[in-house]
A and B are shown apart, each in its own frame.
Chain A
Amino acid sequence: MASIQLDGVTKRFGPVVAVRGLSLQVREGELLTLLGPSGCGKTTTLRLLAGFLTPEEGRIFFGELDVTRLAPEHRNVGIVFQNYALFPHMTVAQNVAFGLEVRGLPGREIRSRVREILERVQLRGLEQRYPHQLSGGQQQRVALARALVINPEVLLLDEPLANLDAKLREEMRFYIRHLQQEFRITTIYVTHDQAEAMALADRIALLRDGVLQQVARPEEIYRRPQSKWVADFVGVCNFIPGRVLGQEDGFLVVQTPVGLLRCSGTAGPGRVLVCVRPESLRPQAEGPNRIAGVVRSRTFLGNLLDVRVFCPGEVVLRVQCPLTWDAQPGESLHLAFRAQDAWVVSEEG
């Protein structure tokens, strides 16, 4: 097990820059998700780490070891692909044993380690099956077992749950987290699914067009986004345009079309956006940060009610609240939020 460090890594494909000056540290035993829309460079980053690609600039370290130009077979990396990439001509046991065989381990040790890992991923009894005879979830676990059995320095997961149905995906999420902690293995997990990233990660690294946007704990990413793009990409967010007037009691005072708002943030003077999550807004008659508005529409989400409220200055706010509030279209009301639940970002990006 080792830490991972990327130092100003750049990868180009012809004229396209897939990853641009990426610097990132992953601590020993940490699970970091690389999150971003498709084409943001997260899979390229993973392939650079696995050694399938070599960067034009920058260096990659596993612990103290510079692996930038090391061939994949010498990196001792466990990787799980979206399509699992199991060897279709080998049984489950042969798939899992492959990495141990090429290391030249004695047959007895191979057999016992294969047995042990299949026990851990609950696949005992399926040793002699071929991949095409397994369900998606079982194939997934074979892929995990095959990657883990070699005791890799780092574990790389490339959208490992994307091919599973929704229910199983959620189960496997917790399962992967459990395995990762049990093995205490440094893991990089690539996904475009923010819910997955939130649920799994110690930290999330957000990528956009090959550029790192923010690295932080899930909660921080969600509550303290560094830019409008981050706030917009992760979860749903209301943006209220405004101008910072000054500070008061450690909060920023922002002038907006819906009134003076007090919010958290560090943005300097000038034009800004106030980010308020839909669940931070509450229908309330009293309190600070009161915004007058009219209910335009409501959508039933099962556990929540999603309400659109028209406010002064053509600001439309989305409010998500428990079903105890029965908003009716046309209803006039006041919304309020706590200053610590709102966050100011600069307007560009």
Chain B
Amino acid sequence: MARAAEMARLRVRRPPRSAPPAVLLLLPSGLFLAAFFLVPYGNMVRMSFLAKAEGAAFANGVTLENYLRILQDAFYWRVIGRTFWLAGLSTVLTLLLGYPVAYAIARAPGPRRPLLLMLLLAPLLVGAVVRSYGWMILLGRVGLINQTLRILGVGEVELMYNTFGVVIGLVHVYLPFMVLALASALEQIPAEVELAARSLGAAPWRTFWRVTWPLSLPGVFSGSMLVFVLALSAYVIPILLGGNNVLVMPILIVQMLLDAFNWPVGSAMAMVLFGLACVVLLVYVKTANRVLRWIGR
């Protein structure tokens, strides 16, 4: 009995084996992604080359017509342009709004930082749908802001069902992601590095441009990429706050799939959006890496 206990103790104290190979660690998530991401995506790629059918989602027979229809139609290009423009604009705005917040969080005294992060992430507990409806209450024709303006005698302003409303919604929903990325980069910069610049004669703004900003670029790049991709694929916010006045690709894709019941063209549109996004991101990553290498990071 005592011997068994001794053996158990020894077994517990056996030195830990080295970590299992990376392949094993990646296996569970890899299987999950393969089953629920790669397979449906592959199916969608296949679908985008199938022919359209009367009274059915698709017919058999391989064709390039779906792609040609999209790429040859100026209407689609306008929507694609608008989609990228809105995503880019939202990214720039979240960056401008998020940077000071991230800086404040990164430089907040230790015990206060978790609290600030919690406040930052709290809105994520409420889904994008609910928050969009919240904005509708504020921005709508009989919403809070317009009522106030009417009382003040200013008259009515179109705040919703236009680009303005969509951008407000996108910026609001994706701001926390930007702040998180920026704050984690800014936290890596020791306060002494900025102080050293000050003592060497650099005024605050100069310290920012020469030291803080370049050192925070990794966070700027990762945060921008995250927000851009999210905004590019946003559906709920554009449909609720833009109505049908601000058409973006995700709205068109859903319409094509569900309303027009045209799966092949819908799939092809998704592929086009995906392909263009990949090109933009690739260029972006290359540029970002070149910038980072150039400043020695």
Binds A, one of B28-36, B119-127, B133-141, B203-211: B203-211
Stretch at the interface among A59-67, A85-93, A184-192: A85-93
Q: Could you mark each residue 259-297 of chain B with 1 if its beta carbon is under 8 Å from any beta carbon of chain A, else 0? A: 000000000000000000000000000000000000111
Task: Take A89-B297, A130-B296 as given contacts and tell me if A73 and B195 are in contact as well, using a CB distance cutoff of 8 Å.
Answer: no
B-chain residues with CB within 8 Å of residue A71 when the two chains form the complex: 198, 203
| Contact present for B195 and A87 (CB under 8 Å) | no
Interface readout for A71-92 with B: 1 if CB under 8 Å, 0 if not? 1111111110101011111110
- 8 A Cβ contacts from A27-70 to B: 50-52
Q: Is B15's beta carbon under 8 Å from chain A?
A: no
Q: Complex: how many Å from CA A158 to CA B188?
A: 21
Q: Please, which residues of chain B bring their CB within 8 A of the CB of A88?
A: 193, 215, 296-297
Q: What chain A residues lie within 8 Å of B200 (beta carbons)?
A: 73, 98-99, 102, 146-147, 150
Q: How far does the alpha carbon of A146 sit from the alpha carbon of B193 in the complex, in Å?
A: 12
B196 within 8 A of A: yes
In this complex, the interface size class of chain A, counting residues with CB under 8 Å from chain B, is 20 to 34
A50 and B197 CA atoms in complex are apart in Å by: 12
Known: A98-B202, A102-B202. A87 touches B192 (CB 8 A): no
The smallest beta-carbon distance between B171 and chain A, in angstroms, is 29
Contact between chains at B296 and A50 (CB < 8 Å): no
Whether A76 contacts B195 by the Cβ 8 Å rule is no
Q: Please tell me if the beta carbons of A85 and B201 are within 8 angstroms of each other in the complex.
A: no
Task: Say yes or no: A103 contacts B201, CB within 8 Å.
Answer: yes
Cβ–Cβ contact A50 & B199, under 8 A = yes
B88 at the interface (CB under 8 A from A): no
Return chain A residues, CB-CB under 8 Å to B195: 50, 52, 72, 79, 81, 85
Closest chain A residue to B210, Cβ basis: A98
Contact A85 B190 (CB under 8 A): yes
CB–CB A83/B201 < 8 A: no
Measured between alpha carbons, how far is A85 from B197 in the docked complex, in Å?
9
Tell whether, in the assembled complex, residue B214 and residue A83 are in contact, meaning their CB atoms are under 8 Å apart.
Answer: no
**Bound state CA distance, A31 and B265, in angstroms?**
79
B197 CB, min distance to chain A CBs, angstroms = 7
Q: How large is the interface on B (under 10, 10 to 19, 20 to 34, 35 or more residues)?
A: 20 to 34
CB distance from A99 to the nearest CB of B (A): 4
Query: Are A73 and B192 in touch, CB under 8 angstroms?
Result: no
Assess whether B193 is in contact with A87, with CB atoms less than 8 Å apart: yes
Q: A87-B211, A89-B296 are in contact. Are A79 and B196 (CB under 8 A)?
A: yes
**Closest Cβ–Cβ distance, residue B220 to chain A (whole Å):** 13
CB distance B296 to A78 under 8 Å?
Answer: no
Contacts of B211 in A (CB 8 A): 87
Complex alpha-carbon distance, A74 and B200, angstroms: 9
Given the known interface contacts A90-B296, A91-B296, A130-B296, the answer about A85 and B202 at a Cβ–Cβ threshold of 8 Å is no
Asked whether, in the complex, the Cβ of B199 is within 8 Å of the Cβ of A75, the reply is yes
Q: Determine the distance from Cα of A339 to Cα of B291 in the docked complex, in whole angstroms.
A: 71
Write out the residue numbers on chain B whose beta carbons fall within 8 Å of the beta carbon of A98: 197, 200, 202, 210
9 closest A-B pairs by CB: A99-B200, A85-B192, A72-B198, A85-B196, A81-B192, A89-B295, A102-B201, A102-B202, A79-B199
Q: Which residues of A line the B interface, CB within 8 A?
A: 50-52, 71-79, 81, 83, 85-91, 98-99, 102-103, 130, 146-147, 150
Given contacts A87-B196, A102-B201, 14 further A-B contacts (CB under 8 A): A50-B195, A50-B199, A73-B198, A73-B201, A77-B199, A79-B196, A85-B193, A85-B196, A87-B197, A87-B211, A88-B296, A89-B297, A102-B210, A146-B200
- Seen from chain B, the residues whose Cβ lies within 8 Å of a Cβ on chain A are 190, 192-193, 195-203, 206, 210-211, 214-215, 295-297
Give 17 CB contacts A-B under 8 Å: A51-B198, A71-B198, A76-B201, A77-B199, A81-B195, A85-B190, A87-B193, A87-B196, A89-B215, A89-B295, A89-B296, A89-B297, A91-B296, A99-B201, A102-B200, A147-B199, A147-B200
